[in-house]
Amino acid sequence: MPFISTNPATEQVIAEYPSHSPKDVDQALETASRAYAGWKKASFAERAESMNRAAELLESEIPVVAELMTSEMGKTFAAAKGEAMKCAMTMRYFAEHAESMLNEESLPTKGSRSGVRYDPIGAIFSVMPWNFPLWQVVRMAVPTLMAGNVVVFKHASNVPGCAKYLEDLFVRAGFTPGVLSTLFVSHDQVSDIIADPRIVAVSLTGSDQAGRTVGEWAGKNLKKCVLELGGSDPFVVANSADLDITVPMAVTARIQNNGQACINSKRFIVVRERADEFLGRFADAMGAVRLGDPMDPATDLGPLVSKSQRDLLAAQVSSSVEKGATALVGGAVPERTGYYYPATVLANVPRDSRAGCEELFGPVAVVLVANDLRDAIRVANDTPWGLGGSVWASDASEIDEAIAGLDVGTVFANAIVASMNELPFGGTKNSGFGRELSAQGAQEFTNHKSFFVA
């Protein structure tokens, strides 16, 4: 079966890419294995030189690759350009800082010399999602490559053009073929790839269901895995929040990337004293969001990635309304070509409705009212996920209480949750384990080799 690229704004097929046969997969893994033999011996300076060339090439091609991202998954052209720029910045960041993150560490013992080395381990297999077609791969691969490993990735089947672009970019930048390579394979082939002895570890970004499956296969083969899974991130509005700042940021936090990000704010939990004002202003602002052609600079919100994703979101909303939720804004599929869904605000959401207990991967905000900040934190933690969360407050004690109390991998105060090169990124509970980015991410796929000299 070929991998088919379809424009979600026009519903037209853009291109088809042939899938890889078992023989193709075997050849790719052999190429990666041979590439690792040389790449692991390269100095940090040599790796950095190659990575900076990749960044330079990407920067020169941002409009082209941004249009490719927009056409394959529907994010606005402005967002796509921002994603490409962020990828180039990350390449440059780890080219500069990876050596200090991965240098041998000295630890005091009774020996004359002792410590820890961070040695590469081999070929890492990575399963990537469609929502950030470049960034998800770069976020995982760049620190891993700078550590001396090689990466073989299976991208989502609806963004094959972006997958091929990344592989070609690294080859054009001077990387040996096989250092970063992509496979056009089905889900059914993933378990055999993980079991292959030439693959030493696994990374997945996706749903918690996919994480359970891939984690099981990795465990069966005694291979380390890093799982960055789904989320239902809370956006906590405390009593001291400045709503002039908070409301516009709440809109952005829900609709960025067309509402299709694990770290989008999805549950807006407001203390009762501020609830009426926040809800009124937030509903008005979400109602003003401009839905349209993602290539148009005036567009705020493009289409969802596919008809199935749009239909799933519509079903989650309609089912929740039937159970008693109120759609203050949006809530209905528009009559137009493309997989569009409007910015939507749901209030009075029953806990046992689909919007009350499922991840909503689209521009639908669930607003919940809490008695006070302590209760808001309790509501925020009342979910199986724990990826990220934000608190909006001007009082330092409220900020500190939320940072300490939210059971998530990342807490931002008065800012939208984002992945940053300087900070480890990952979740807890059903949002997975392991970290990407920062020194912790660079060290994830290394052998923490202790040494002792008497």
Q: Hey, how many other C-beta atoms are within 10 angstroms of the C-beta on 55?
A: 23
Residue 1 CA to residue 367 CA, distance in Å, equals 42
Nearest one of 419, 409, 345, 413 to 373, comparing CA atoms: 413
67-91 as b/e, with b when 16 or more CB fall inside 10 Å?
ebbbbbbbbbbbbbbbbbebbbebb
Amino acid, res. 282: F
Phi (first) and psi of residue 38, to 5 degrees: -90, -40
**135 membership: H or E segment, kind and range:** helix 135-146
Exactly one of 228, 398, 401, 444 is catalytic; which is it? Answer: 228
DSSP state letters, 390-429: EEE-S-HHHHHHHHHH--SSEEEESS-----TTS-B--EE
**What's the CA gap between 398 and 21, in Å, rounded?**
56
Rg (CA), the chain: 22
**Is residue 262 annotated as part of the catalytic site, yes or no?**
yes
Q: Do residues 343 and 291 touch, judged by C-beta distance below 8 A?
A: yes
Choose the catalytic residue: 83, 262, 398, 401: 262
Cα gap 84→95, rounded to integer Å: 17
Q: Active-site residues: which are they?
A: 228, 262
